[in-house]
């Protein structure tokens, strides 16, 4: 049922062709009508003039005039009207006078007499292969016996006009047809030409391969109508390029991050096997391997989490989460560790709630807090501040410490990104914690950012606000799941 | 305690079997879903550990068949599949727990013990004792060699966990989850710090030492020295 729409060229050509044809037809019809009307009017004027003259002449003729004199006077009266023919007859059909040409007796008998000749009552009469416009009138006269009114039949040949109209008609239709064809062809040509930029853009797009994602189409060389399409395409390529870059960076990072522990394990095992050792040494090597394996396993599960987030597979189980309580719990969890590092933990602001997946939110906050505690110098403190503005909840996690330069700050949420490359293997995670926090917050429709000023670094995240009073039971599968599996490890 | 292990990956199956056997369990290991299906329905086991992805009959099928046969034997899924839908499906079909590969063996062992304990009524003793360490659960008091030791709430919860599961190696992730309800790894040594503080209070001034570090795996409370 999903038929492909007709091509643009066909659509445009058909619609413009139909419109032009209709216009030409109406135009032709109007011209023809008006010429034809004009001819009728001309004929009527002529006939009317003849009738008037004859009436005048007849009125002036004295009774009993000899027929020869009568004919002379009548012929003289209409001498200016060469085209007109007429016949004067008495009421009983006797012809008193008739011009040369076809007999008008049939006309005089068949057509009802009228008072004056007009375009409405004039009739077309055909005789002996000649077409005439004709009318019949009566006129008082002293000519006939008993001075009865006479019947005047007048006619004028219109073959000339008809021929002209016929020729005009033919020419008009030929011209109309030619004009239509030209218009349709011109339309098609214009459409084809008009689509040339689209074909060119298609050609350009086809040449963009994955290794040329930096290529952009030039907005200056496309018609105004296409700039939106082209700029949308450029934006899309931009997003693809960024994603592609991130993916290839990520793959490279994975390879690098995994290569290091694998190299360690391989070397260690080879060296261990190179000569006999006592059992304590073997045990030591196995322990050391175990730690390395743990790190790799954690990295793999973190990367899987991020891959799920990338593929939009992170589906938070939404419930009302009290951020105040979550942060308190996290402070409780981290308190011994922070105390040992001589870092104070402070929570300020008003209690706020968000809609979210409690486990995920907790994990994001935990990553941010552990990061903050780790980089706070002894004797300083980490402050978590909760605030609301409009419909947003904002959580600021702020720690004292050296300024992070802008070039690091903008990449701080990137995977495997570490401020200090030497910190890489110090056992403090794989550099995925902040990336995971970002994925979680974004899966919740929130935003996360970092800023660093003299003496303090602040991570700020914002999430949609919900009222805390609406504390629906935090059901959902995660909690049910916890019930079954209280000691679930992180996913 | 007799366990059935259905795992098609040869190395994983063998090592898990060995680990469980060395922890004192009788383990039947089968490598196909068909064998697993047969044994699960005919044998008498205290716990079944099932791989989800099996070449013939998959783990879901087996657990469904078990529950349809009105068997209430606990089932623990072992799988590389880690999507929420898979978890929900497994649990809806009647599995009791779910462990994602790669997992730590100590984690598996801890969960196996949890599931096996679930059947027996949890002991609601008021008082727990290991060597000369005495916990008064109701009044949340701790004594060692008749000396009162004052602990914070979390320290007490941690000690109670260690004592209730004495002799078991508890992975850090399990401790974080049970004591603080933190179900993820925080990339920090929070648990180590907490254990160190607890040790300072209950172990440092006394002999024998009760809390043992099992390197690479976790912590264990035991009256005797670990092997």
All structural domains of chain A? 8-166 (3.30.450), 221-310 (1.10.287.130), 319-484 (3.30.565.10)
What CATH number is given for B127-221 in this structure?
A: 1.10.10.10
Mean pLDDT of the region B202-208: 87
The B residues from 123 to 162 touching A (CB cutoff 8 Å) are: 154
Band the pLDDT of B59: cuts 50, 70, 90.
confident
Tell me where in chain B the CATH 3.40.50.2300 domain(s) lie: 2-119
> Cβ separation of B183 and A488 shorter than 8 Å?
yes
Mean pLDDT of the region A53-66: 80
| Burial of residue A203 (number of CB atoms within 10 Å: 0-12, 13-18, 19+) | exposed
| Interface mutation target, options B185, B194, B215, chain A, most CBs of A under 10 Å | B185
Count contacts between A and B (CB, < 8 Å).
Answer: 106
Percent of chain A predicted with pLDDT > 90: 16
> Cβ separation of B185 and A332 shorter than 8 Å?
no
pLDDT score at B221: 92
| Burial of residue A427 (number of CB atoms within 10 Å: 0-12, 13-18, 19+) | exposed
Mean pLDDT of the region A288-299: 85
Band the pLDDT of A489: cuts 50, 70, 90.
very low
A98: tokens are: 């008739």
pLDDT score at A383: 93
Mean pLDDT of the region B183-205: 88
pLDDT score at A389: 82
What DSSP state is assigned to residue A405?
P
pLDDT score at A471: 44
Angle at A21 (CA atoms; ends A17, A25), nearest 5 degrees: 175
> Cβ separation of A336 and B193 shorter than 8 Å?
yes
B97: tokens are: 């727990």
For chain A, give the mean pLDDT: 82
What φ, ψ does residue A472 adopt, rounded to 5°? -65, 155
> Cβ separation of A489 and B181 shorter than 8 Å?
no
Task: Choose the CATH number for B2-119 among 3.40.50.2300, 3.90.1170.50, 3.90.700.10, 3.40.190.10.
Answer: 3.40.50.2300
pLDDT tens-place string over residues A270-290: 888 988 999 999 988 888 888
As a whole number of angstroms, the distance between CA A332 and CA B154 comes to 9
Mean pLDDT of the region A374-384: 91
pLDDT score at B1: 79
Mean pLDDT of the region A241-262: 81
> Cβ separation of B187 and A482 shorter than 8 Å?
no
ipTM for this prediction: 0.71
Q: Does pLDDT of A306 surpass 60?
A: yes
pLDDT score at B123: 56
pLDDT score at A212: 79
| Interface mutation target, options A304, A321, A333, chain B, most CBs of B under 10 Å | A333
Band the pLDDT of B49: cuts 50, 70, 90.
very high
Mean pLDDT of the region B204-224: 87
Tell me where in chain B the CATH 1.10.10.10 domain(s) lie: 127-221
Contacts 24+ apart (CB under 8 A), A376-381: A376/A341, A376/A343, A376/A400, A376/A401, A377/A401, A378/A341, A378/A342, A378/A343, A379/A342, A380/A343, A380/A344, A381/A343, A381/A344, A381/A345, A381/A346
Higher pLDDT, B155 or B185: B155
Find the residue in B nearest to A312 (Cα). Answer: B83
Q: Does pLDDT of B122 surpass 80?
A: no
pLDDT tens-place string over residues A129-166: 788 888 888 887 766 556 677 888 888 888 888 899 89
Band the pLDDT of B113: cuts 50, 70, 90.
confident
Polymer length in residues for chain B: 227
Which residues, at least 6 apart from A231, have a Cβ–Cβ distance to it below 8 Å? A219
> Cβ separation of A315 and B181 shorter than 8 Å?
no
pTM over 0.90: no
């Amino acid at each position: 049922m999903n038929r492909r729409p007709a091509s643009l060229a066909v659509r445009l050509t058909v619609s413009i062709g139909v419109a032009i044809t209709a216009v030409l037809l109406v135009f032709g019809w109007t011209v023809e009508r008006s010429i034809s009307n004009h001819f009728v009017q001309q004929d009527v004027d002529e006939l009317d003039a003849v009738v008037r003259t004859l009436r005048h002449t007849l009125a002036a003729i004295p009774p009993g005039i000899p027929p020869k004199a009568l004919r002379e006077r009548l012929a003289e009266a209409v001498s200016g009207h060469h085209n007109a023919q007429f016949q004067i007859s008495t009421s009983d059909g006797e012809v008193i006078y008739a011009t040369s040409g076809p007999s008008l007796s049939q006309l005089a008998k068949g057509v009802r007499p009228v008072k004056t000749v007009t375009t409405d009552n004039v009739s077309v009469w055909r005789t002996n292969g000649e077409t005439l416009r004709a009318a019949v009138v009566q006129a008082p006269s002293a000519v006939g016996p008993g001075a009865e009114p006479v019947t005047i039949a007048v006619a004028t040949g219109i073959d000339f006009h008809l021929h002209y109209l016929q020729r005009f008609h033919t020419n008009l239709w030929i011209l109309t047809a030619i004009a239509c064809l030209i218009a349709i062809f011109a339309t098609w040509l214009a459409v084809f030409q008009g689509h040339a930029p689209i074909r060119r853009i298609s050609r350009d797009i086809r040449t963009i391969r994955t290794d040329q994602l930096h290529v952009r189409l030039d907005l200056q060389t496309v018609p105004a109508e296409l700039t939106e399409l082209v700029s949308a395409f450029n934006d899309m390529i931009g997003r693809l390029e960024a994603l592609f870059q991130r993916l290839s960076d990520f793959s490279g990072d994975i390879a690098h991050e995994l290569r290091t522990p694998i190299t360690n394990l391989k070397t260690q095992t080879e060296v261990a096997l190179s000569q006999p050792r006592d059992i304590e040494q073997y045990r030591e090597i196995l322990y050391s391997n175990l730690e390395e394996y743990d790190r790799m396993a954690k990295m793999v599960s973190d990367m899987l989490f991020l891959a799920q987030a990338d593929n939009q597979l992170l589906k938070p189980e939404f419930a009302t989460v009290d951020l105040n309580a979550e942060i308190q719990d996290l402070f409780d969890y981290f308190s011994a560790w922070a105390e040992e590092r001589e870092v104070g933990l402070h929570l300020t602001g008003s209690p706020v709630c968000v809609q979210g997946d409690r486990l995920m939110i907790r994990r994001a906050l935990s990553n941010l807090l552990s990061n903050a505690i780790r980089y706070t110098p002894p004797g300083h403190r980490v402050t978590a501040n909760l605030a609301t503005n409009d419909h947003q909840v904002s959580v600021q996690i702020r720690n004292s410490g050296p300024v992070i330069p802008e070039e690091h700050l903008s990449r701080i949420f990137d995977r495997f990104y570490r401020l200090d490359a030497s910190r890489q293997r110090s056992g403090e995670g794989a550099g995925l914690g902040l990336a995971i926090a970002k994925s979680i917050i974004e899966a919740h429709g929130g935003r996360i950012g970092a800023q660093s000023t003299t003496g303090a670094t602040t991570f700020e995240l914002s999430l949609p606000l919900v009222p805390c009073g609406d504390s629906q039971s935090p059901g959902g599968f995660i909690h049910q799941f916890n019930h079954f599996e209280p000691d679930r490890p992180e996913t | 305690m007799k366990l059935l292990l259905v795992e098609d990956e040869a190395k994983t199956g063998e090592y898990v079997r060995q680990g469980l056997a060395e922890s004192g369990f009788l383990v039947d290991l089968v490598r196909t879903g068909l064998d697993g299906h047969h044994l699960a329905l005919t044998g008498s086991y205290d716990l079944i550990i099932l791989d989800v992805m099996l070449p013939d009959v998959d783990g879901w099928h087996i657990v469904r068949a078990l529950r349809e046969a009105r068997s209430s034997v606990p089932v623990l899924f072992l799988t590389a599949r880690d999507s929420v839908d898979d978890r929900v499906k497994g649990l809806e079909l009647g599995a009791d727990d779910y462990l994602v590969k790669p997992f730590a063996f100590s984690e598996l062992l801890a969960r196996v013990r949890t599931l096996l304990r679930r059947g027996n009524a949890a002991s609601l003793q008021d008082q727990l004792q290991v060597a000369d360490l005495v916990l008064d659960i109701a009044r949340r008091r701790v004594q060692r060699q008749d000396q009162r030791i004052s602990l914070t709430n979390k320290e007490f919860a941690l000690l109670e966990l260690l004592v209730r599961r004495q002799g078991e190696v508890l992975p850090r992730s399990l401790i974080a989850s049970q004591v603080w309800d933190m179900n993820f790894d925080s990339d920090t040594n929070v648990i180590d710090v907490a254990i160190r503080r607890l040790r300072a209070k209950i172990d440092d001034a006394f002999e024998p030492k009760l809390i043992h570090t099992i390197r690479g795996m976790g912590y264990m409370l035991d009256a005797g020295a670990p092997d």
